[in-house]
Amino acid sequence: MGIREKGYYRWEGELNAKGFTWFPIFLRGIKHAFRKKYAKALFGFAGMPFLVFLVALYVSTKPELKMLSRLVRLLQNDAEFFNVFYSNGLLTFIFLVLCIFIGAELISGDYKSNAFPLYFSRPLNPRDYIMGKFSVLLFYLLLFSLVPGVLLVIFKLLFTGAFSFDIGLFGALIVYPLFVALFFTSFTLLVSSLTANRKFVAAAIFLVYVFSNAIAEILRAIFKDPVFELASIEKNIQQTGAWLFGVDPPISIPAVYSALILCLSTGLMVGVIFRKIKRAEAQIENGG
Amino acid sequence: MGRILELEHVGFYYGAFRAIDDVSLHMEAGVYGLLGPNGAGKTTLLKIILGFLNPLSGTGQVLGFDISKDRKLMRRHIGYMPESECLIPGMDAVTLTTYLGELSGMPHQEAVKRAHEVLYYVGLEEARYRQVETYSSGMQQRLKLAGALVHDPRLLLLDEPTSGMDPGGRKEMLGLIRNIAESKAMNIIISSHLLPDIEATCEKVIILNKGRVVHQQSVSSAGTQRYNRYELRIKGDADRFIDRLQAMECRVETNDRGLLVVMLSLKHSVMDLFRLAVEEGMQIRHFRQSRTTLTDTFVKAVGADDGN
């Protein structure tokens, strides 16, 4: 395989001076996740809550289905309906699976293949790199939460024929999935930036989530104080949902505390990721 | 073309260790070799040039861009071929090179076209649809070079470009670098500890030791490209022998061991030396090919610095 006696052509085009330098990372990440083995099966599964709630929504608009009157009452309360849609255990579980499936290797893969010199010798800084990685997972999480949420609103309007919807509630159903997706993305990328071992990352994401719930339950049982439920990721997500949608919180403490906890931990995790990537940039090719 | 690099009193420390110590460098357009033993500061200097590290003291410009403030702009015009194995698995060479082009700011279609061109140029045209993790180390080096070239940079930084290559591949890589250097408007800085690589490709050499620049000179002034060096001990009329050698455009010196050092022009073979000795009735009692001048320079520069 010899070097060809072919001249080197100069490229006369113009490099993109502005714009989103992280965008190629986003596009590559989206394609890569979609081409993974079992991706289509997982994405099909992730669309299940939407289909179930869509059917339920249709049912709620049919007064002749009297045997489902309790369900109809729930579904006709928009705030309850969207709170249940977003905060239900299945959707949270789907979030967790998506984080493991798509997010676990986002940064750990680059550690493993030592790909940082390829990124940081380009016009990218750690912020661009993190935004690129962030956007990949955020895209998929919002695809299976925010998009179905907005579609459900549209279908509800279509099924009922009444073209009015509470603007505040609409804001909540935009903000809530964004808020939760940001938290899960930061959490996943933080764990992914700690090691080059993808399996460890996947296990850690799952275990941290499960143990946070278990520890919260144990502490609450020992001290008989609901404040310890704030140690649970799941409970904080549910509390925040209740706060945003204006429904009764599942635990009897102000729901805004949970929103603050999630907000602060997201900020903290992003800070740590930034430090880790900045260090990875500086440590490229450490040696002579 | 103006200066490609200007560093003024640049310093960088890892804790108490001075990786780069008050380095001032001015590089005009051309091909530079960065030489130095392990731990000399070559890689740290490259990191500073690329903007991976902020110098703790001093100032600098690369291609007119401030190394501390204009990192992103600067990197648009720099191509970097890292030493380490650093390819993203799960991609073929075309996809990876396209991706790197896009990261540099090239539009997608242009990046695809250009990826094919540079892969052809580095000799990977037949393997360009293979997954990069199946590449041999020589092919990976070529691929890294293609990635560094894809956006047509003004400055190419090559860190140990022949690392892990077999002799044939190494020769081809050096040929490729020479080709880029000679016929393209591209400036190159090669960091290597392999003196023959530097001799074969560079016009100028900068020797680093303990984070400081200990020597700078043009490679051709050292005569390494034009001569083969031999050490001889002769018996007979040395003056006449030397006169005849000089008439053949060979430089002759005497070294500190009293040996005659003959820098035989490349147009003469070693047999011409023996024929001349026969013609002059000389006896050659010791004969061996000498180390290159650059090696001497390197050893002298680093050795003197270590002595200090």
Residues B111 and B251 in one domain: no
Residue of B nearest to A27 (CA): B99
User: In the structure encoding, which two tokens stand for residue A197, read together?
Assistant: 């071992």
CB atoms B120 and A6 under 8 Å? yes
Distance CA B222, CA A216 (A): 74
Best B12, B17, B35, B52 residue to mutate vs chain A (most A CBs within 10 Å): B52
Given B219, B250, B275, the domain boundary residue is B219
Residue with the two structure tokens 């709170």: A83
Residues B101 and B194 in one domain: yes
Please name the member of B41, B100, B185 whose beta carbon is closest to the beta carbon of A118.
B100
CB atoms B183 and A6 under 8 Å? no
Task: List the domain range (segments joined by +) for residue B171.
Answer: 5-219
CB atoms B88 and A115 under 8 Å? yes
Residues B177 and B214 in one domain: yes
Residues B232 and B215 in one domain: no
Residues B66 and B177 in one domain: yes
CB atoms A15 and B114 under 8 Å? no
Residue of B nearest to A281 (CA): B52
Are B234 and B285 in contact by the 8 Å Cβ rule? The answer is yes
CB atoms A21 and B121 under 8 Å? no
Residues 6+ apart with CB under 8 A from B221: none
Q: Cβ contacts (< 8 Å) between A287 and chain B: which residues?
A: 38-39, 43, 83
Say if A127 is an interface residue toward chain B (CB within 8 Å).
Answer: no
Please name the member of B52, B82, B179 whose beta carbon is closest to the beta carbon of A282.
B52
pLDDT band of residue A288 (cuts 50, 70, 90) is very low
Q: Given strand B204-209, what is the order of strands in its sheet?
A: B78-81, B155-159, B187-192, B31-35, B204-209, B212-218
Say if A278 is an interface residue toward chain B (CB within 8 Å).
Answer: no
Could you tell me if residue B256 is inside a domain? yes
CB atoms B52 and A281 under 8 Å? yes
Say if B56 is an interface residue toward chain A (CB within 8 Å).
Answer: no
Residue A262: HSE in the Cβ half-sphere, 13 Å Cα cutoff: 26
Q: Cβ contacts (< 8 Å) between A39 and chain B: which residues?
A: none
Say if B160 is an interface residue toward chain A (CB within 8 Å).
Answer: no
Could you tell me if residue B300 is inside a domain? no
Say if A118 is an interface residue toward chain B (CB within 8 Å).
Answer: yes
Say if B125 is an interface residue toward chain A (CB within 8 Å).
Answer: yes
Residues 6+ apart with CB under 8 A from B30: B187, B188, B203, B204
Weakest-pLDDT range from A76-80, A267-271, B27-31, B102-106: A76-80
Residues B27 and B159 in one domain: yes
Determine the distance from the C-alpha atom of residue B14 to the mean position of all C-alpha atoms in its chain, rounded to a whole number: 26
Torsion of CA A204, A208, A211, A216, to 10 degrees: 170
Distance CA B23, CA B12 (A): 9
Residues B182 and B267 in one domain: no
Q: What is the CATH number of the domain that holds B272?
A: 3.30.70.100
DSSP string of chain A, one letter each residue: -PPP--PPPPP-S----SS-TTHHHHHHHHHHHHTSTTHHHHHHHHTHHHHHHHHHHHHHT-TT-GGGHHHHHHHHSHHHHHHHHHHSHHHHHHHHHHIIIIIHHHHHHHHHTT-HHHHHTSS--HHHHHHHHHHHHHHHHHHTTHHHHHHHHHHHHHHH------HHHHHHHHHHHHHHHHHHHHHHHHHHTT-S-HHHHHHHHHHHHHHHHHHHHHHHHHH--GGGGGG-HHHHHHHHHHHHHT---SSSS-THHHHHHHHHHHHHHHHHHHHHHHHHHHTTT---
Weakest-pLDDT range from A135-149, A229-243, B201-215, B251-265: B251-265
Say if B139 is an interface residue toward chain A (CB within 8 Å).
Answer: yes
CB atoms A17 and B105 under 8 Å? yes
Are B138 and B169 in contact by the 8 Å Cβ rule? The answer is yes
pLDDT > 90 fraction of chain B, expressed in percent and rounded: 25
Say if A16 is an interface residue toward chain B (CB within 8 Å).
Answer: yes
CB atoms B176 and A3 under 8 Å? yes
Q: Give ipTM to 2 decimals.
A: 0.86
Say if A69 is an interface residue toward chain B (CB within 8 Å).
Answer: no
Distance CA A53, CA A5 (A): 64
pLDDT at residue B81 greater than cutoff 90: yes
Q: Cβ contacts (< 8 Å) between A24 and chain B: which residues?
A: 99, 102-103
CB atoms B40 and A115 under 8 Å? no
B155, β-bridge pairs: B78, B187
Residues B237 and B88 in one domain: no
Residues B161 and B261 in one domain: no
Query: How high is the pLDDT of residue B130?
Result: 93
Say if A288 is an interface residue toward chain B (CB within 8 Å).
Answer: yes
CB atoms B80 and A121 under 8 Å? yes
Residues B188 and B117 in one domain: yes
- Run of H or E including B169: helix B167-183
pLDDT at residue A13 greater than cutoff 80: no
Please name the member of A11, A109, A124 whose beta carbon is closest to the beta carbon of B152.
A11
pTM equals: 0.82
CB atoms A8 and B125 under 8 Å? no
Average pLDDT over residues A203-210: 94
Could you tell me if residue B299 is inside a domain? no
pLDDT at residue B184 greater than cutoff 80: no
CB atoms B99 and A288 under 8 Å? no
Q: What is the CATH number of the domain that holds B107?
A: 3.40.50.300
- Tens of pLDDT along B97-137? 999 999 999 999 999 999 999 999 888 888 899 999 999 88
Given B201, B219, B237, the domain boundary residue is B219
Are B67 and B23 in contact by the 8 Å Cβ rule? The answer is no
CA dist list (Å): B130 to B92, B133, B136, B138: 5, 8, 11, 15
Residues B69 and B213 in one domain: yes
Please name the member of B36, B120, B139 whose beta carbon is closest to the beta carbon of A288.
B36
Tally of domains in chain B: 2
Query: How high is the pLDDT of residue A260?
Result: 94
Query: How high is the pLDDT of residue A284?
Result: 59
Q: Cβ contacts (< 8 Å) between B112 and chain A: which residues?
A: none
Q: Give residue limits of the domains in chain A.
A: 23-282
Q: Cβ contacts (< 8 Å) between A25 and chain B: which residues?
A: 103
Q: How far is A28 from chain B (nearest CA, A)?
A: 8
Query: How high is the pLDDT of residue A82?
Result: 85
Say if B180 is an interface residue toward chain A (CB within 8 Å).
Answer: yes
Distance CA A213, CA B5 (A): 57
What single DSSP character describes residue B131? B
Query: How high is the pLDDT of residue B281?
Result: 87
- Tens of pLDDT along A249-262? 888 888 889 999 99
What single DSSP character describes residue B221? G
Q: Cβ contacts (< 8 Å) between B102 and chain A: which residues?
A: 24
Q: Could you tell me if residue B191 is left (phi over 0), alpha (psi between -120 and 50 degrees) or otherwise beta?
A: beta
Average pLDDT over all residues of chain B: 85
- Higher pLDDT: A218 or A249? It is A218
